[in-house]
Amino acid sequence: MRRPKIALIGGGQIGGVLAQLIAQKKLGDAVLFDIIQDFPQGKCLDIAEAAGVDKFDVSLKGTNSYEDLQGSDIVIITAGLPRKPGMSRDDLLVTNANIMRSVAENVKKYAADSIVIIISNPLDAMVTLFQKISGFPHNRVFGQAGVLDSSRFATFIAWELGVSVKNINAQVLGGHGDTMVPLVRYANVNGIPVMELLERKYKDAAKAKEVMTQLVERTKMAGGEVVKLLKTGSAFYSPASSAIQMTESIIYDEKQVLPVCAYLDGEYGVKGYYVGVPAVLGSKGVEKIFEITLNEEESALMDNSVNAVKTLVADMDRLGL
């Protein structure tokens, strides 16, 4: 039986970590594509030379030729510019849309049956554009953002409560921007509501609420916090790990329920847009979307986030991208 073939478009910071994780976890054979001559070849050679230590037999191929995508089962796209300090994700729209256009045309040409995970920003717009240009069915085109945003939320909760992050269930819905919606009411530690634990810790409901607001705000601004510290680019270790979790659910048909930037066809009252929602990921890609019951406040936040996605997509149309 052949190993899965995973193509990575964009061999920069995230692309490099993706290739290394695929090798270390022995997920499949990887192809790392970039437009910079020799660069992906150099990264793959470097990672492959750790095979004697990491003991993997999967192959890694760096390339500047799209033809090497042929036969890919999964394509993960990180091609495009990352943010610099002071930039919002939306500032990347024009440059990255032009890059995404050429990427989508080539993936359509050389990997027409693949499942595509997009990471390039602004995420919700780039997923929309890729699907439009490729014409791939919606279940085979989706984005990584919610897994990372939710991991950030869970990490901050774990630090605050002094418990293992393994026991935290926390989810962030909506678009991948400042309007994202960390779901406070559903956040729990092995079933115990996080708010209940915060109230017990501080013995003061108002203080607990204030602390949670800080965790939520930090989650929403977490990408920018990293950009500010790195100064030369944006987060790359955690986005790569997040896309790998999605990849594992697909290649092993695990049907993990993960927050995915998925196409909505009426769910959450939204039709025709890609938005972050809980989805079942399996061998067919997005196999099901779960609708969570939202209260009035949560619905208003979700609507606000969906409107931000709609504005971004309208901007793309207006600019003819």
Do residues 19 and 32 make contact, with C-beta atoms less than 8 angstroms apart? yes
Dihedral sign computed on CA atoms, order 16, 122, 180, 141: negative
Selected binder of ligand A3D within 148, 181, 244, 260 (CB under 6 A): 148
Selected binder of ligand A3D within 99, 194, 258, 270 (CB under 6 A): 99
DSSP annotation string for 181-203: EE-TTT-EETTEEHHHHHHHHHT
Residue 111 vs 123, nearer CB to ligand A3D = 123
Asked if 96 interacts with ligand A3D (CB under 6 A), we say yes
d(CA 47, CA 266): 44
> For residue 31, what are the β-bridge partners?
7, 61
Selected binder of ligand A3D within 20, 41, 72, 78 (CB under 6 A): 78
Residue 34 vs 73, nearer CB to ligand A3D = 34
How many residues can be counted in the chain?
Answer: 321
For residue 52, the minimal CB distance to ligand A3D (Å) is 27
Neighbours of 106 (CB within 10 A): 18
Asked if 235 interacts with ligand A3D (CB under 6 A), we say yes
- With CB atoms as reference, the residue minimizing the distance to ligand A3D is 12
Residue 80 vs 282, nearer CB to ligand A3D = 80
Q: Which of 43, 83, 176, 220 is catalytic?
A: 176
- Give catalytic status of residue 176 as yes or no: yes
Do residues 9 and 31 make contact, with C-beta atoms less than 8 angstroms apart? no
> Which tokens go with 171?
């989810």
The stretch among 47-55, 74-82, 266-274, 294-302 that binds ligand A3D (CB under 6 A) is 74-82
Please choose, from the candidates 82, 106, 116, the residue with its C-alpha nearest in 3D space to the C-alpha of residue 96: 82
Residue 78 vs 199, nearer CB to ligand A3D = 78
Active-site residues, by number, are 176
